[in-house]
Structure 1
């Protein structure tokens, strides 16, 4: 395994832990020694183990769309060298070309290509039939992961919620609503075509490389932050960490958060209530934490911070900040 494949496995296991899966059981069922999965470690995982890792993650989470939800939650900054290449690009098109060229470093289950026409550019996955036959379950999950990852990372590159023009893939009818939610586009069923198309206007848009730095900063903040108020296994801790890691695209809704954890919004609300907290409480705590983090960094204007935290009006952000701290954002920034 190369470093990028190892980085992906570590990100996979970290997400499984966030989903509260029993990691020892997940690895044991997949023929993997959990203790060997360490950053910089010299572990090796074969095709069957990788296939079983996906299979058992879906089974233990009771989530057949585990790959889609992983893609929805992961950032470029979590994939090491891939993010560094995107960071060095100046336009979305260059970033996409670099990412496609690097795809074989992450998986050998398929290759990727870029197609252009007058209206759109399309990312297409080309299966390696021999490797698909050896790891059929992993293949299905990895193709789903790459398609949704493309959507959410284009979001991150230009700080906008992008809607694909078309998505083509195999899928079960029961999965269609969740696919449409995550991909923001009703998928078209195909037995053996894996492709996602975006409006051509995005191709030459400049990448906001500062946003990549923001992703890295948030990940570092999550890594150094204390655990939740009732322990690292609590729902409020998992929700807080998810909110922090994905806050470069704004604060996600309760419905989106629940879907990513494969529970209903009502169930998530009930579990948080059992821990004597509400989703709104956690979202406000994260907004406050991020506001202080951005203001102390000195790298953002107050209006930018207001926008990043999801406030439509600067005045609304200022009122919330004064409620949290007793002073205005500008006043706090001067003190910092």
Structure 2
């Protein structure tokens, strides 16, 4: 059964309260027997059909054929802060999109995302909808992607005077409600195509490769989220995976020491070493795997020079990086 986090659903209810002036928490608590009173973490889950009912019920309440767009007007301040914080430690727009594709299913599995090539100059962020989804949900999801990404870009671009094309088309699998095309155009601020086979967003590769300023203050929050997600993924903490994901969150800016990682996980260095040894690994191996995977990812994109990658991964000079790279190639072969 596909689910969403209760925390995300509480945000939707906050939007509802702002829109209608009515708190509908009791309605959903009574109907589905869920608890929404206390603080919910991302691993507290409810079925996604509850989210679908929320959108359908809310749209009917105010007779709004484009409720998904209306919802975004009120929802940005309630958007999942953990996913946004994780994005703030990404070095370019491409990385923020890839992290969003990876992380958003933990928020809600109603829509799964994948970035694929579209043509020689563009990529497409495809939205795979669960069969229970209604069009209000995909309208809201794609508009939220565009709104937050544009906002992050405007705040964190290292070239504020550069004006790259960004989102060049939005594809929607449903038809346009009669009389509302201009509403969609005003909301998305880009070209629109309705009745498409797959919903999604066509993005300029030039925009995807745009460099972003990293907000180092967000690293701790990003690491905390990776730890929480590792708990969800494995049912209980897989320490090696959690450390690997945490290092990836920090990899382009600093490679923390074993002592710093132990502190992040609230354990002594000796305990950290013992637990990793029980999994037949150690901190040095995980750190090396992190650098290797990040190096291969950046080199495969053919956007960053070897000198830039050397600097991003914290190597002292090009010779040190080349030595590590040759070792990785030999071990892979």
So what's the TM-score if we normalise by structure 1?
Answer: 0.53
Q: Residue 149 in 1 paired to residue 144 in 2?
A: yes
Q: Residue 49 in 1 paired to residue 54 in 2?
A: no
* Residue 86 (structure 1) shift: 0.4
Q: Give me the whole-angstrom Cα distance separating, in 2, the residues matched to 1:86 and 1:48.
A: 28
Structure 1: segments with no counterpart, 5+ residues: 217-336
Among residues 166, 172, 176, which one is paired with 2:169 in the alignment? 166
Among residues 178, 184, 201, which one is paired with 2:183 in the alignment? 178
Post-superposition CA distance 1:82-104 (Å, at most 9, x none): 11220221111101100011122
Which residue of structure 2 aligns with residue 10 of structure 1? Answer: 10
Q: Give me the whole-angstrom Cα distance separating, in 1, the residues matched to 2:171 and 2:17.
A: 30
* Residue 141 (structure 1) shift: 2.3
C-alpha spacing 1:44/1:150, structure 2 compared with 1 (3 Å):
closer
Post-superposition CA distance 1:307-334 (Å, at most 9, x none): xxxxxxxxxxxxxxxxxxxxxxxxxxxx
Which residue of structure 2 aligns with residue 27 of structure 1? Answer: 27
* Residue 123 (structure 1) shift: 0.6
Which residue of structure 2 aligns with residue 122 of structure 1? Answer: 124
Alignment of 1:267-306 (within 5 A): none
Aligned-CA RMSD value: 3.5
Aligned length: 207
Check the 8 A contact 1:24/1:34 in 2, yes or no: no
Task: Report the secondary structure of 1:166's partner residue.
Answer: strand
Instruction: Name the one with the larger helix percent.
Output: 1
Post-superposition CA distance 1:187-206 (Å, at most 9, x none): 11125320111222211212
Post-superposition CA distance 1:50-90 (Å, at most 9, x none): 32211111122332322223334444873032112202211
Larger radius of gyration: 2
C-alpha spacing 1:205/1:47, structure 2 compared with 1 (3 Å):
closer
Post-superposition CA distance 1:198-256 (Å, at most 9, x none): 2222112122455997xx9xxxxxxxxxxxxxxxxxxxxxxxxxxxxxxxxxxxxxxxx
C-alpha spacing 1:94/1:48, structure 2 compared with 1 (3 Å):
closer
Q: Give me the whole-angstrom Cα distance separating, in 2, the residues matched to 1:199 and 1:112.
A: 17
Post-superposition CA distance 1:111-157 (Å, at most 9, x none): 211123322222111234xxx1xx243xx222112210111112112
Check the 8 A contact 2:90/2:212 in 1, yes or no: yes
Check the 8 A contact 1:77/1:212 in 2, yes or no: no
Q: Give me the whole-angstrom Cα distance separating, in 2, the residues matched to 1:52 and 1:4.
A: 13
Structure 2: segments with no counterpart, 5+ residues: 156-162, 222-333
Q: Give me the whole-angstrom Cα distance separating, in 2, the residues matched to 1:2 and 1:104.
A: 10
Check the 8 A contact 2:89/2:215 in 1, yes or no: no
* Residue 37 (structure 1) shift: 4.5
Which residue of structure 1 aligns with residue 235 of structure 2? Answer: none
* Residue 22 (structure 1) shift: 2.1
Check the 8 A contact 2:55/2:136 in 1, yes or no: yes
Q: Residue 82 in 1 paired to residue 83 in 2?
A: yes
Q: Residue 107 in 1 paired to residue 108 in 2?
A: yes
* Residue 8 (structure 1) shift: 1.6
